[in-house]
């Protein structure tokens, strides 16, 4: 259970940051809030572009994105996650037609859970109890949740639950999947995750309306594709 400490701290920081953002939301002019939100989108794009350079094999990334998106579309993950956000929206803001609970829930959940620090940090916590990466991530998510909550609202608080479940699951399963997670596999998983973050950034800025959630299965496909690729290469 010690390995879950990082996830518990991360969940708490998202809740704390989101609460602070909600408290000061009314004090921030809408025009300023919109500008800050767009700035956060640019920062997210920078994080994604910087991170995706860790990939070692572009072919793995391409195939993972294509197959992962097909799987996500078939499962319609975006619809299910958005429905969950809309359900929460109806519960907490029945009279507000302009509520952004669903949007902030989906966007912040993806931002907090898709990326190298989530995967690597959760694996380290699960394998050897090292929560240092998740503690660093917690500090970053604290700042991001303040901005998200101050511009989009209460949905950020609900995303803390997503962080708890997603990171907690990876941490608990770490010892089982560790033999499969070679350096090459982790690098490709991170690369794909950061490509998805770029898509999220484009949505935040308002350039696109990508169904980013449907791309999430792509993150896990390198676990299969990297060994398969290596095996095929041995045949030539």
CA dihedral sign of residues 207, 197, 18, 154: positive
The pLDDT tens digits for 157-211 are 988 998 999 899 989 888 788 788 888 998 898 889 889 888 888 988 888 888 8
Please state, rounded to an integer, the average pLDDT across all residues of the chain: 84
Q: What is the 3-state secondary structure (H, E, C) of the chain?
A: CHHHHHHHHHHHHHHHHHHHHHHCHHHCCHHHHHHHHHHHHHHHHHHHHHHHHHCCCHHHHHHHHHHHHHHHHHHCHHHHHHHHHHHHHHHHCCCCCCCCHHHHHHHHHHHHHCCHHHHHHHHHHHHHCCCHHHHHHHHHHHHHHHHHHHHHCCHHHHHHHHHHHHHHHHHHHHHHHHHHCCHHHHHHHHHHHHHHHHHHHHHHHCCCCCCHHHHHHHHHCHHHHHHHHHHHHHCC
Mean pLDDT of 17-37: 81
pTM of the predicted structure, to 2 decimals: 0.79
So what's the pLDDT on residue 91?
Answer: 65
pLDDT at 24 (0 to 100): 82
Is the pLDDT at 98 greater than 60, yes or no?
Answer: no
- pLDDT tens across 66-84, in order? 999 999 999 988 888 778 7
């Amino acid at each position: 259970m010690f390995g879950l400490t990082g996830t518990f701290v991360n969940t708490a920081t998202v809740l704390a940051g989101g609460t602070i953002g909600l408290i000061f939301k009314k004090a921030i002019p809408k025009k300023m809030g919109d500008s800050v939100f767009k700035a956060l989108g640019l920062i997210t794009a920078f994080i994604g572009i910087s991170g995706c350079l860790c990939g070692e094999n572009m072919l793995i990334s391409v195939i993972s994105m294509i197959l992962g998106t097909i799987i996500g579309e078939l499962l319609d993950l975006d619809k299910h996650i958005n429905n969950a956000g809309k359900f929460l929206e109806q519960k907490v803001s029945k009279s507000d037609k302009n509520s952004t609970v669903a949007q902030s829930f989906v966007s912040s959940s993806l931002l907090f859970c898709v990326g190298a620090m989530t995967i690597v940090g959760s694996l380290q916590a699960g394998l050897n109890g090292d929560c240092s990466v998740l503690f660093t991530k917690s500090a970053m998510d604290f700042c991001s949740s303040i901005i998200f909550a101050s511009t989009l609202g209460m949905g950020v608080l609900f995303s803390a639950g997503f962080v708890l479940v997603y990171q907690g699951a990876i941490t608990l399963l770490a010892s089982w999947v560790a033999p499969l997670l070679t350096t090459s596999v982790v690098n490709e998983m991170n690369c794909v995750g950061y490509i998805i973050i770029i898509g999220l950034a484009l949505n935040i800025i308002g350039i696109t309306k990508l169904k980013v959630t449907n791309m999430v299965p792509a993150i896990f496909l390198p676990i299969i594709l990297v060994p398969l690729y290596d095996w095929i290469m041995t045949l030539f």
